[in-house]
Amino acid sequence: MSERIESESGVHLSIDKRVADDKVELTIRTAGCKDCLLHWGVRRNRFEPWEMPPQEIWPRGSSSYDNVAVQTPLSEQDGQTGVMIKINRNAGFGLIDFVLFFPQEARWDNNHGRNYHIEIPGAEVPTGPSLDKRLESIAAEIIEKEMSGNSWTLMHRFNLCYDLLDRIDRDDIEGLALIFVWLRFSAVRQLDWQRKYNTKPRELGHAMERLTLKLAARYGSNPGERKIIRLIMSTLGRGSDAQRVRDEVLHIMHRHHIKEVSGHFMEEWHQKLHNNATPDDIVICEALLHFLKSDGDLAAFYRKLEEGGVTRERLESYERPIRSHPDFIPHLKEALIRDFEYFLGILKEVHSGTDLGVAIKAAQYLFDQEMHVLADDIRRRRDDSGERMCNLAEKVTEFRRRLVKKSGSDKGAVRDLVFLDLALEDFFRIIVERDLRPDMNTRLIVKLLSLSVDNMCLSHEDGQLLNCLHHWKLLAKAPDFSERWALHAKAVIERIETALGRHVDEYNLLLQPKALFLGRSFKAAPWSVALFTEEVLRGRPSFVLSLLIRTVNPILRKISNLGDWQIISPGRRTGKVKVIPGLKSIEGEHFDHPVVVITDKVIGSEEMPAGTAAVITADTVDILSHVAVRARNMNTFFAVCFNPEKIGRMKRLEGRQIELWVNTSGEVAFEESAGYPESAIMPGAALMPVISRPAFRSYVIPMEDFSRENVGGKSYNLKRMKGRLPEWIR
């Protein structure tokens, strides 16, 4: 086997490939190319990052280059220069990546930054998460740039994103989702923000500004893309007039006669800001303000840094490192606090598009008089709690409704409105989360739930949720909360839960495969990959709605004397009963036989142990919590029992084998079982229904002939309900 490559500088390469038993021999030759080095590495596949080749496959004369690549002279052989690389087929490498380097000219030939590739024939390469073929070339380019080790900053990332958007067709949600997953990994610090390159703030600001304007143009013209573009823009800053970052820090230093002398915190931070301003600077500035307000408490400074995700090690890792502690000068305290609060606003204008204060300021030129009043009220009362918090949440919702009515073709205005809407969406989540309590007044919870569904509909068009919203608003007007009212409300809540479940499943299918694919290639932290979609959803309106449902469900059950069970993930499972105080206590275990776990406490963040057939808990569970989502994905039976007597009966069966299922009344039924049937589904396995094509008998089946064999479950249940419903139900 052979192939030919013509390099960008006109060098002709001939590659001969020979497979012999478990070895592959690759001979690379070129004619008339003297004083040339093969600068190369290996990849497992085209989506995995470049790796340093194992030393045993280096040809003679090779040397390491910065411990990231090998440089091999193209030696003279029979009048041609060439080199042979021998590699085991089972080494796990599918590609050799290389560029050419001419040391006498200090010149690189790197295929316009894309490197050259040689496929290793017959290589046994382990497969990982896959990606739609349409997106492979885009993903490959992203991974190449991110993991190559070449110069790279946030500016380069945003410029590449700008270019790649042109290769994503209109309404290609999958392609935009790939872009979001990539930028989200960047936003949570799983990718380099700076590598071997210095970027002036104005250059970074320009890259952000043109990218957000391009996204805003797509948002305005393609309604079908809006839900994903909103997610993408939540990872970006505005850009704005970023030159002010560089200018203002100098003004502060000169105004207070802070010398530009190395070995001092302000000079080290000043150098970082000049050469690589990043969102970390917002955290550094907030920590510095905390330090000044605490009269120079260094522990408070570093604690605030870590809360924002910036460790001392991260400060010291910058190419312009910050190694010194900040200095506290008592007589400058108040003046520095004033100046750095102003500077923090500038940093947020550049790096934080969804900061509420910044977003209101940037979009206020688009407000009518009522919107100006609402904006002032929200800013003035942003710390309200209790019933006043509900009034604040109502104003935020009304403001968002008015924003939706604002439209236009100007991409700058669209960008400002989207950033503001994202900021209000996030602020609504914050004000509800910080004040929500189980003992809160029921009417207040009912009102907040109505506002939460309203906010969910403003963020995501959903006909089912809109119907639920109208229904819930009617219920909220009831003069008292009777048993009949509670039954009615519970029915609406179950419809909302169904819509939420569909929402979770949709985003999980859209985002998680791409997170697994890119996360593996980026060598991202395992938590950032495994919890990717859940962490995205926890920052969205769906999470607030889920919290409110968790709060209102026990209240409705108590008022209406409803059943004793809430089904999180249904099914029919068999396993040996294991009683534990909390699910956290068995996290990380692996059961070699199916287990039915009975527990009093579920936090929500636990990992479901392998081999868990079912979890029954007495604790209220958030349906969007990590453990609930995992249960749905793994097909693990998961239910909450509100009856101490029933859960006590199950606990008394500890060590015995039971089978449990959901009966027709929505209750969990269980009985002792002789054993775990071989044909049953193992915990964590995907449900694969067996479907057979029925024989054709007629074009129409009358209701009296409906059976489980010839119609679906909904149709069969309609037959069962016939004659049992009150006359007023049509």
| Residue numbers annotated as active site | 626
Integer CA distances (angstroms), 249 to 206, 268, 302, 308, 695, in order: 19, 12, 21, 21, 79
Q: HSE-up of 334 (CA within 13 Å, CB side)?
A: 1
Integer CA distances (angstroms), 329 to 70, 296, 336, 557, 707, in order: 52, 8, 9, 60, 83
Pairing of strands 668-672, 590-601: unpaired
CA distance 217 to 231: 15
Q: How far is CA 697 from the centre of its chain?
A: 50
The DSSP output letter for 59 is: P
CA distance 50 to 251: 44
Integer CA distances (angstroms), 173 to 74, 223, 256, 507, in order: 46, 11, 51, 11
- Identify the helix (H) or strand (E) that includes residue 669: strand 668-672
What single string gives the DSSP state of each residue in 327-388? P--GGGHHHHHHHHHHHHHHHHHHH-TT-HHHHHHHHGGG--HHHHHHHHHHHHTTT--HHH
Q: Which two tokens stand for residue 295?
A: 């009269």
Torsion of CA 305, 310, 315, 319, to 10 degrees: -150
Q: How many residues does the chain have?
A: 730
Q: Among 624, 628, 590, 591, which Cα is nearest to 606's? A: 628
Q: HSE-up of 179 (CA within 13 Å, CB side)?
A: 30
CA distance 167 to 71: 35
626: CB partners within 8 A, 6+ apart: 531, 534, 604, 605, 606, 607
Q: How far is CA 230 from the centre of its chain?
A: 13
Integer CA distances (angstroms), 219 to 146, 225, 409, 418, in order: 27, 6, 10, 9
CA distance 616 to 638: 6
Please answer whether residues 512 and 533 qualify as being in contact, where contact means their C-beta atoms are separated by less than 8 angstroms.
yes
